[in-house]
Amino acid sequence: MPRAEVTQGIELEYEVFGEGDPLYLVMGLNTQMVAWPMELIDDLVERGYQVVRMDNRDIGLSTKTSGPPPDRRQVLGSFVRPSRARADYLIENMAADIAGLMDHLGHDKVHLVGASMGGMIVQQLTIDHPERVASLCSIMSTTGRRSVGRVHPALLAKLPATVLAVPPEDREGRIAHSLRTWRLISGPHFDATRVREMVESALERDTDTIGGTRQLIAIAASPDRTAALRRVTCPTLVLHGLKDRLVMPSGGVATARAIRHSRLIMFPDMAHDLPHPRLGEIAEEIDRNASRAA
């Protein structure tokens, strides 16, 4: 896969599929680009898009931040007092990375689709460069306002033992740890076989566990985007799962309320995942929203 220098000192690993109007898929926290289901990518390519996916900084084969890794106290403290969070970068810097990739690929204007933290990144990119965004789709994400899109208390109690835990060093132990985490945040369509294949693919590419922690602090330290989202005018689709406990549905509702004329779709059988039975419908809605840009 190719790699491009997108901002000073940052290179992103990326992959391009098909021909047509460029559509960028931006993945979420601590998750490599291989988490985007190929069924979704193939569907979008068949609909006439050139699909680009990438590893965000600190994940997969993209540039890793140097320096000592943050500890659990720093992570928890960044959410208790965001103003004092010692972040290596913010969501706006990750958005600038994507803009740099657009420059590298010669794309003046693109359709943006982001999941979870990727939704935050594409929101910020649309705020910073509205002239370069043809359409926006924010999936299972939120605005950055602390009162919405919070972690459900029942899930919050389990996070230290899963998401924030140090994963085992052996391969099978790490796979089992990842499966437990994905099962915890996924909905009723959780497919252990599919998730295991994705996890194995990710581990073959990169075994680093620090980057996700840095990304988490970046989320906590980044400001609320609500007011800026009110200036967004491109066609916007907001997708969220009613069973999402990692980013509760209020995050999707707040995003749709902030962006005028946006379309909000809440799937009753979706949590913080991209359920396989819904992939065709998700592709159709992304295509429908992108077609509004014409």
- CATH code for position 16: 3.40.50.1820
H/E segment holding residue 137: strand 133-139
pLDDT-derived band at 78 (thresholds 50, 70, 90) equals low
pLDDT tens digit sequence for 164-207: 566 777 899 999 999 999 999 999 999 999 999 999 999 999 99
Has residue 268 been placed in a domain?
yes
| Domain contains 20 | yes
Domain extent, residue 116, equals 3-150+209-291
Given a contact cutoff of 8 angstroms between Cβ atoms, the answer to whether 141 and 255 are in contact is: yes
Give this prediction's pTM: 0.95
Q: Which residues contact 255 (CB under 8 A, 6 or more apart)?
A: 119, 123, 138, 141, 142, 143, 229, 238, 262
The answer as to whether 179 is a domain residue is no
Structurally, how many domains does the chain consist of? Answer: 1
> pLDDT-based confidence at 72, cuts 50/70/90?
low
Residue 60 lies in a domain: yes
Q: In this model, does residue 112 exceed pLDDT 90?
A: yes
- 119 part of a folded domain: yes
User: Does residue 174 sit within a domain?
Assistant: no
DSSP state of 199: H
Q: Is residue 279 part of a domain?
A: yes
The answer to whether residue 31 is domain-embedded is: yes
